[in-house]
Amino acid sequence: MQLVPPSCFKPEPSRVSAAHLTAEFAGGRTILRRQQVGYPWHLTRGFYLDGARPDLLTLYLQSAAGGMYGADDLQFDVTVGDGAALHLTTQSATVVHPGRDRPAALRQRIRVGACGFAALTSDPYILFPDAELMLSTTAVVEQNGVLLIADGFSTHCPPRSTGVFRRFASELRIERPDGRLLILDRGALRGSDLSGDFDALGGARAAASVVLIAAPEQLPPAEEIEAEADRAGCFAGVSMAPNEAGLVLRMTAPDAGGLTRGITAAFHVVTRHLLCAELAPRRK
C-alpha cells in the first residue's frame, strides 16, 4: 500500500469556463435569444439606455471571481444576429493576479450578422506583478455588419509589492464569412520590456486598441477620435485598417483610469457617426 504524506497536494486544476450569448432582433428591438453564462461571470439584465436607438441592447459583464488567476481558461462566444444591435461592456476593470508560471487566458469568438452592430468595449485589464495574460479574439463579420471592439491593459504595482507583470499577449483576427482575412493584430509584451520614454508604450503604462469594422462611408473622422481621446488624457492615433476593413485606433495613457476615459470617448465618437445618435453614458 502506498502511503500519502499528510502534507501532499496536487496542483489545482485550471478554471475552465465557457459562456455563450446570442442577441437577435425581434419585435423592434434586440433581445437575448440565448444566454449561457456561468462562474466566474455574471451578466446583468439587458438595458435599453438610448432613446435615439431603442433597439440597442446594452449588457454589463461582471466577474464574481475578483479577477483572473493563473491557469484560468475562459471562453466567451457572442453572436449578434442579422439587424441586431448589442453593446457588451464590462462593469469595471479586471485585475489579473500573479500567474505562478501559468498564464490566464481569455478566448472570445464573435459573429456579427448582416446589418448587425456589435460593440464589445472592455475596461482595462490590470496586470499585477508576475501576472501573465493571453487574449485571443476571433471575429467573423458579414460584409455590411459593424463591429467595434476595444481592449487594453494597464500595469499596476500595489503598495508593498515590487516588480512588473510577466507577459501580456493579444491576438485579434477578423475575417469575412468566406474566410477572407481582414485584420490580424497579434503582439506580446513583457513587463521587462518597459524601460523608459522610448519603450513600446513611449513611457506610458497603459495601452489599448480599438478596431472598427465598417463600410468606408460609415467611418468617423480620424481627427475627431484623436482629439476626443487626447482630451481624455490619452495619446492616440487613428489609421485606416488593412483591406479597407475600417479604422484602427491605438492609444496609450498614464494609467488605467485615463485609458478607460479614452476608450469611452472613442466609443461615443464612433457611435455618434455610425448610429447617427448620441448614446447615453454607460454608468458604472
Q: Using CA atoms, how far apart are residues 98 and 140, in angstroms rounded to an integer?
A: 32
What are the C-alpha distances in Å from 2 to residues 5, 12, 207, 211? 10, 22, 53, 57
Buried b (16+ CB within 10 A) or exposed e, 265-275: bbbbbbbebbb
Asked whether 245 and 218 are in contact (CB, 8 A), the reply is: no
Binding flag, residue 115, another protein (CB under 8 A): no
Query: Should residue 52 be labelled a site residue for another protein when binding is judged by CB under 8 A?
Result: no
Part of the chain binding another protein (CB under 8 A), chosen from 47-55, 96-104, 116-124, 230-238: 230-238
Question: How many whole angstroms separate alpha carbon 50 and alpha carbon 27?
Answer: 17
Closer to another protein by CB, 53 or 250: give it.
Answer: 250
Q: What are residue 162's phi and psi, to 5 degrees?
A: -135, 165
Query: Distance (Å, rounded) from C-alpha 151 to C-alpha 209?
Result: 6
Q: Count the Cβ atoms, other than its own, within 10 Å of residue 160.
A: 5
Interface with another protein (CB under 8 A), residue from 250, 256, 260, 267:
250
Give min distance, CB of 249 to another protein, in A: 8
- Residue number, 101 or 199, with CB nearest to another protein: 199
Positions 165 through 224 that interact with another protein (CB under 8 A)? 169, 181-189, 193, 195-204, 207, 209, 222-223
**Which of 106/245 has CB closer to another protein?**
245
**Residue 227 interacts with another protein (CB under 8 A): yes or no:** no
252 binds another protein (CB under 8 A): yes
Residue 226 lies near another protein (rule: CB under 8 A): yes
Binding residues for another protein, per CB under 8 A? 169, 181-189, 193, 195-204, 207, 209, 222-223, 226, 235-243, 248, 250-252
